[in-house]
Amino acid sequence: MGLANWFEIFCTDLEVDNSATIAKRYSALTVRLNTDFWNTTSSTAHSLYVGSYGRNTAIRGFSDVDMIIELPWAMYIRYNAYIGNGQSALLQAVKSSIEKTYSQTGIRGDGQVVQVKFLDMAFEVVPAFPHSDGSFTFPDANGGGCWRTTNPRAEISAIRNRNILCNYNLVPLCRMMRQWRNYWGVPIGGLLIDTLAYQFIDTWAYRDKSYLYYDFMCRDFFRFMADQSRTQVYWRAPGSGQSVYGDELFQWKAARCYNLSLEAIEHEIATPKREWSAKQKWREIFGTRFPG
């Protein structure tokens, strides 16, 4: 088994394995909310997967499924006219609807989402009002309440299109870096990982190759992350251009793993090859999900 097989097995192991369960719950939530707010029992209309699952960059064992439920514009007019916190009242209305289907499930509505907790994961439902350009207005109940905008469709489309143009290497890179983030406890959000990977792979020399070059891809992306300015506060998300904040420094852990990847590659190209030692270095980076 060679280098390409190691990374192929690793990337396959990272793929989400409970899509059927997610789809069942997503459909049930959509039917419930459509019944109450649109007078239809459709399981697909007016809803959208967003977040890492919507961008197809989530990995096995991820904890939150983000979804948008579109609501009629008349509801925005009604809740925007509230003297108090209309955003909080809107979240409570959505929460009350969901409770009709999931009465025994922990449901909480605050901040910007209605969170529906299951034993194995949580759904975070964002009630939103669509605009003709594909963006949405959604409520934020914090600090007395306000309205915010987001454009997840543009982000999903940007990731999908660049993934295709780069021989389907972008999504596996995003997933591998989530595993690294989780294993090393790196202070970096999923959208920032996707944003940096999107920027990096556009000009990476081997973006049209496949698993045989994944050691180089990881090495070069760690260097790319390590070289990000320590003073930079935010980056621009692909497609939407929204600000993606990095609250803490992630660069120094990326630099450490860049050096580990150099050691792994040195073992790979040695004569004779030191395959066991190479694998152990990749496992120092990614944990035991990397083949032993």
Q: Are residues 167 and 227 in the same domain?
A: yes
pLDDT of residue 106: 83
Q: How far apart are CA 177 and CA 98, in angstroms?
A: 34
Q: Are residues 36 and 139 in the same domain?
A: yes
Q: Is residue 4 part of a domain?
A: no
Q: Is residue 14 part of a domain?
A: no
pLDDT of residue 264: 97
Contact 227, 255 (CB under 8 A): no
CA dihedral of 9, 10, 12, 13, whole degrees rounded to 10:
110
Domain tally, the chain? 2
- Helix segments in 15-85, DSSP class H: 19-37, 51-55, 73-80
For the chain, which ranges sit under pLDDT 50?
none
Give the total residue count for the chain: 292
Q: How far apart are CA 143 and CA 140, in angstroms?
A: 8
Q: Are residues 110 and 145 in the same domain?
A: yes
pLDDT of residue 104: 73
Q: Are residues 185 and 77 in the same domain?
A: no
Question: What stretch of H or E contains 121?
Answer: none
Q: Are residues 105 and 200 in the same domain?
A: no
In this structure, is the dihedral angle defined by the CA atoms of residues 175, 15, 61 and 30, taken in order, positive or negative? positive
- Looking at 133, 150, 167, the residue that finishes a domain is 150
Q: Are residues 47 and 164 in the same domain?
A: no
Say if residue 272 is preceded by a cis peptide, omega within 30 of 0.
yes
CA dihedral of 22, 25, 30, 31, whole degrees rounded to 10:
140
Q: Are residues 143 and 171 in the same domain?
A: no
- Helix segments in the chain, DSSP class H: 3-14, 19-37, 51-55, 73-80, 86-99, 152-165, 170-184, 190-201, 214-226, 251-269, 275-286
Q: Are residues 85 and 169 in the same domain?
A: no
Q: Is residue 73 part of a domain?
A: yes
Q: Is residue 245 part of a domain?
A: yes
Domain of residue 60 covers: 19-150
- Looking at 150, 174, 208, the residue that finishes a domain is 150
DSSP per-residue string spanning 71-106: --HHHHHHHHT-SS-HHHHHHHHHHHHHHTT-TTSE
pLDDT tens per residue across span 136-193? 999 999 999 999 999 999 999 999 999 999 999 999 999 999 999 999 999 999 999 9
Q: Is residue 8 part of a domain?
A: no
Q: Is residue 7 part of a domain?
A: no
214-226 helix and 170-184 helix, angle to the nearest 10 degrees? 60
Q: Which amino acid is at 198?
A: Y
Q: Is residue 255 part of a domain?
A: yes
Q: Are residues 167 and 183 in the same domain?
A: yes
Q: Are residues 78 and 136 in the same domain?
A: yes
Q: Is residue 205 part of a domain?
A: yes
pLDDT of residue 249: 85
Q: Are residues 160 and 96 in the same domain?
A: no
The CATH code of the domain that includes 112 is: 3.30.460.90
Q: What is the largest CA-CA distance in the chain?
A: 75
Q: How many CB atoms lie within 10 A of CB 100?
A: 11
Q: Are residues 55 and 115 in the same domain?
A: yes
- Looking at 102, 132, 150, the residue that finishes a domain is 150
pTM of the model: 0.94
